[in-house]
Structure 1
């Protein structure tokens, strides 16, 4: 066996932990592009605020951001998230803990607007290939909410799949599947039940080795139950929802990545009471409402607002029953929300640039002299 083969075998052995988490040639190339001497690749498997659980060739350990990286990251949306591939330097030989010195370029990012009056991005997960939008078939089922999740999914760069969970709780799951397919053109819709082992084959077909899959949805939708069902063991705690209104409590308290026996890795996320959209950089709004966009393209006037204009194909679809008025209302509502959010973000960026300009403005002669004297000392 020659030297090259020996090195390849050694690298394969060292990276076995990472290969299980989706490591491959594209990530190897991206890591090399960072040019960080002495660093090793790793993946963030859990986010606990200012500390992260990471997996490297040595196994699982804890990591924090280097001071330089903290200074370079502009806002919370640029900080590491579960699913990120990172460059890490270990604390000492043989130790698993380390310091994060770089983040590899992301292929997808799932985010929403964080709660609060100041517009900030909350990054949910990174480098997700398939995003599973989970909606329970109980009192909390809501098509309008699913439309919002689809906007987020299409903007993320991941491929959306809708899971209608707890199919054992309703008499006609297939009816819900048809209704959901009507508001999600081209998106796979799968009714699943962990209790009845329903939909497992179609779901497991998505869990190919090397892929990263994430679960998102409302509290109590059954995300952790689906994870445990696929894993074949209870790796996440679950809670029952209230019978009166089918509302759940936050069982999952942080985002975490798990390797599944099927070969893929799955990210479980805390449930959301409300999804506030962040941006439309990926054209997710048009993608989520592609049927209305196609109707609008047939309107007589290019600037048709679909209100009282003659020759409006959207209004005609409403009259014929082809288009649900509630879907059109949500189309308009999410458009207004995204435009408003974009305007607020532009305003914030202008304010940040002004503040930065003041900080970097030339200092007075007295201040310059004092700095010069300090340098001489």
Structure 2
């Protein structure tokens, strides 16, 4: 029979705990993985099972200064066991990966506007499943949504995978549809999946081998919760039918939740995403549009804007039909948004630094304070 210590270590290991995380754990605190977050508290999974942990004052202050520091689903947390038996969440351990979305940029006569604050949707994720239902995936806006989510997925540090869900709905048109989606996701695996018939479910399960963690992202009605249930082998998430008439999904999942699967691996189900902004982009957009980046290297001018310049390889590809014009438009849109978010973020950081210096100078001017 295994000892309580070895049993607890096995539970933590099944949740993704490893030696590098153990090295980051402050002395005297207990490790746990965040399964769900509520206001001021988190539902966590630890060696002792499922429990609730309220945020410490230090965690609340950090989250107030930067929303990205707020504990999120998938985080590894350090808990303090209080004398009365409750837990307090003292710290969030360093994230290996993080899927962060920004505020949505809006186009107006004055240019782009919106919120530059970030929100972490999932942390310590190995695989990012972008789910797009077959019923709608040929629509231009939906291909744009795939590209947007893939940019964030690449930026997160996780492996992006596109799942064309409800693949049984398109019949003989599936091959054409898969080609359209694959063209919008160069370098990314694209799989048809039908959770009802089981098509592709085992392929999806293969991405979770080795106790990996995945997050499923997509619009309402994309079949995310149905897929999670198929992987779990039971109804762990509530599901609903797509609305009749407009074909749009209802928000069934109203919170993000980390679910350990009985066959190994963990998966995070998420509410439907209607609008999602870019945040702190590095190479995410370039990875999604690697085909355009490759063409751009063959342009006559190094600073080609791919508009009307002579010798533009990108425009030539559009004219000969090898590159959809829609794709260039989507690339331009995401490039502008990424640049705007970077400028907003830089301005916010400058403002925060100015405010900190104001506080320091105010303290130094107080009577009785010695000056260097």
What TM-score results when the alignment is normalised by the length of structure 2? 0.91
CA distance in 2: counterparts of 1:345 and 1:362, whole angstroms: 26
- Residues 1:118 and 2:112 aligned together: no
**Post-superposition offset of 1:49:** 2.8
- Residues 1:268 and 2:269 aligned together: yes
1:204 equivalent in structure 2: 205
Asked if 1 retains the 8 angstrom alpha-carbon contact of 2:162 and 2:188, the reply is yes
Residues 1-377 of structure 1 aligned to structure 2 (within 5 Å): 11-31=5-25, 36-73=26-63, 74-92=65-83, 95=85, 97-114=86-103, 117-139=114-136, 141=138, 142-171=142-171, 172-281=173-282, 283-363=283-363, 367-368=366-367
Bigger CA drift: 177-186 or 218-227? 177-186
CA distance in 2: counterparts of 1:327 and 1:363, whole angstroms: 54
**Post-superposition offset of 1:279:** 2.3
Aligned length in residues:
357
Gaps of 5+ in 2: 106-113
Superposed CA deviations along residues 200-223 of structure 1, whole A, max 9, x for unmatched, are 221121121310011011111110
What TM-score results when the alignment is normalised by the length of structure 1? 0.89
CA distance in 1: counterparts of 2:54 and 2:359, whole angstroms: 28
Asked if 2 retains the 8 angstrom alpha-carbon contact of 1:140 and 1:245, the reply is no
**Post-superposition offset of 1:362:** 3.5
Bigger CA drift: 194-203 or 314-323? 194-203
Asked if 1 retains the 8 angstrom alpha-carbon contact of 2:151 and 2:288, the reply is yes
CA distance in 1: counterparts of 2:268 and 2:177, whole angstroms: 26
Report the aligned-residue RMSD.
2.1
CA distance in 2: counterparts of 1:68 and 1:272, whole angstroms: 31
SS of residue matched to 2:83: coil
Bigger CA drift: 110-119 or 308-317? 110-119
SS of residue matched to 1:250: coil
**Post-superposition offset of 1:315:** 1.0
CA distance in 1: counterparts of 2:225 and 2:255, whole angstroms: 12
**Post-superposition offset of 1:363:** 4.2
CA distance in 2: counterparts of 1:351 and 1:322, whole angstroms: 46
CA distance in 2: counterparts of 1:364 and 1:222, whole angstroms: 59
Larger radius of gyration: 1
CA distance in 1: counterparts of 2:13 and 2:363, whole angstroms: 53
